[in-house]
Chain A
Amino acid sequence: MARVVLEVRNVTKRFGGLVAVNDMSFDVTEHEVLGIIGPNGSGKSTMINMISGTFPPSAGMIRLNGQDVAGKPAHRIAQMGVARTFQLVRLLPELSVIENVVAGAAFGHRRRWKAEAERYAESLLERVGLGAVMTVPVSSLTYINTKRVELARALACEPEVLLLDEWLAGLNPTELQTGIELIRSLREEGRTVILVEHVMDAIRSLCDRCVVMSSGTKIAEGTPADVLSDAEVIRAYLGADEDA
């Protein structure tokens, strides 16, 4: 049996009267790529935000390697081994590309500093295909390259779990192929990843398992092929006017 890295149990998040996440439970095992899918507004980002500590759950339990993380401040959770990217890319505009990645290495799960951090950041930039633009200002990067920098920064924490919130969104068809290849290579390295995605091709080819959310509730869980042919899932997507 593979080791469970992340346990989510009966997690609920209320914003005033709105229940954004409703009694969600799932596990992520080591080396697994878990997809979280669902129509717009179904609570996927809210789930990611609770796991990474942006805000605490209203109820429920989240455990990383057996340790309680629910309600801990984001920086503690990052140090314990959760790294993430953001649905809307967030780079550090006044810092160089390499400094953006060192930012992930210097304070995260495995801390590195000075020459060691820089070497590590360089190797990660090479890894995500950015060897050539290490010294340019962040403002001159193309869209996919900003996403790559953000990914390298998250990887620089050497996380136990990597959370990617629609990392592939907004890429054009050729970029999308490159992006999918990149994430596939992470998967082949044996990383543990939670992937929030709308792109069905990516879900089919990258995820070991999927959790489907609709209006904050888990409506299906299983292999991509199984959940994508599930009647309730199709209804949820069609009902929300999404192309499945």
Chain B
Amino acid sequence: MSTRDIRNLILSALAFGVVALLPFYDTGYILSIATTMAMFTVLATSWALFSGPTHYISLATAAFFGLGTFVTGYGFQTMPYWSLPLIAAVLGAGLAGLVGMVTLRLSGVYFVIFTLGLAELVRQLVTWVQNRTGQRGMYVLTSITESHIYWQLLGMAALVFLVGWLIGRSRLGFALRIIGNDETVAKHSGINTALAKVLLFMVSGAAAATVGAMLAPRYIYIEPSTAFAPLLSFQVVIMALLGGTGRLWGPLAGVIPFTLLWEFISRHAPNQTLLLLGLAFLLIVYVLPGGVVGLQARLKRRFGQGGH
């Protein structure tokens, strides 16, 4: 580890320590926004771990997330609470592995469509199971408070950053960058491209499912149509691209402004949220390719600062 790594590690730990104190300051509105931000930070960062280097756009976040919420929905009365995120992670990784093995051979466009369809597929499956057992939705009544959820998500965010940092330094991370540049070269250089992509997809699937499991108590009542809502997948993609996937902190730089704007608009003009999504998308395509990360890199080049 270089001195810069150590400095970044200490700074990140300090930042996490400070934001972890938030529930002692406010447990109302601010905490609720912060919890949403923490949720999207984990989702967008883990999404970018896979999609950033490979350039595969996955719209499967809602599928993994919904799966996670239903793990908690079905399990919270019979199983120890701490085990639920772990079970969700295993199931999320398993589903991602399965889907990855069939779809990651497909080229970009087909992959996008398939992952979008996946959330719908899993939703139909859950609905089918529920119909057979005569349920519609389910109540998740626990003693878990918003503060607990917030801390869990912060822990999860720290874990995702750590995993992302480790992958970035590993052969796997380097292999993914090569795959994103030219898959043919990757193969002929000795990289098992299918395996590398599936592994990373499993990491992001596990993370999204874990987040779903952690958030279920917040919703109190969960049903398939909300748990698997495709909007979530789109929000995650937009936030990650807005921030930029070139750096580990990139998605966070998209999550913060986007969540605040989204919050503001849904309070004052609740029908215009989709418009925000569209505008953000246009902004990314026309003004901010590479997101905030790309902008920062360009500014740095223009003003010729050293370092990174």
A interface residues with partner B (beta carbon < 8 Å):
52-54, 73-75, 78-79, 83-84, 86, 90-95, 102-104, 106-109, 111, 113, 153, 157
Contacts and interface: CB of A to CB of B under 8 A. Distances in A.
Interface in B254-279: none
A173 B186 CA distance: 32
Contact of B187 (A75, A95, A153): A75
Contact of A107 (B177, B182, B184, B191): B191
Contacts of B180: 94
B171 A113 contact: yes
A108 B189 contact: yes
Contacts of B185: 86, 90-92, 103, 153
B192 A95 contact: no
A73, A75, A86, A104: residue with the most chain B Cβ atoms closer than 10 Å: A75
Given A106-B171, A113-B171, A92 B178 contact: yes
Contacts of A106: 171, 174-175, 189
Query: Which 8 pairs across A and B sit closest by C-beta, in order of nearness?
Result: A107-B190, A78-B190, A92-B181, A74-B187, A108-B190, A79-B190, A107-B191, A75-B192
A84 B187 CA distance: 11
Interface in B33-71: none
B171 A95 contact: no
Contact of A157 (B174, B182, B190, B193): B190
B290 to A, nearest CB: 11
26 contacts: A52-B188, A73-B187, A73-B192, A75-B188, A75-B189, A75-B190, A75-B192, A75-B193, A78-B187, A78-B190, A83-B188, A86-B184, A91-B185, A92-B178, A92-B181, A93-B181, A94-B177, A94-B181, A95-B177, A103-B174, A103-B186, A104-B189, A106-B175, A107-B171, A108-B190, A157-B190
A167 to B, nearest CB: 15
A78 B178 CA distance: 15
B184, B188, B193: residue with the most chain A Cβ atoms closer than 10 Å: B188
A113 B192 CA distance: 17
B189 A153 contact: yes
B236 to A, nearest CB: 23
A37 B191 CA distance: 30
B131 to A, nearest CB: 43
Nearest to B178: A103
Contact of A75 (B171, B182, B191): B191
A94 B184 CA distance: 15
A52, A54, A102, A106: residue with the most chain B Cβ atoms closer than 10 Å: A106
A78 B193 CA distance: 13
Contacts of A95: 177-178, 181
Interface in B151-182: 171, 174-175, 177-178, 180-182
Contacts of B182: 90-92
B181 A107 contact: no
B104 to A, nearest CB: 14
Contacts of A102: 174
A73 B190 CA distance: 9
A78 B189 contact: yes
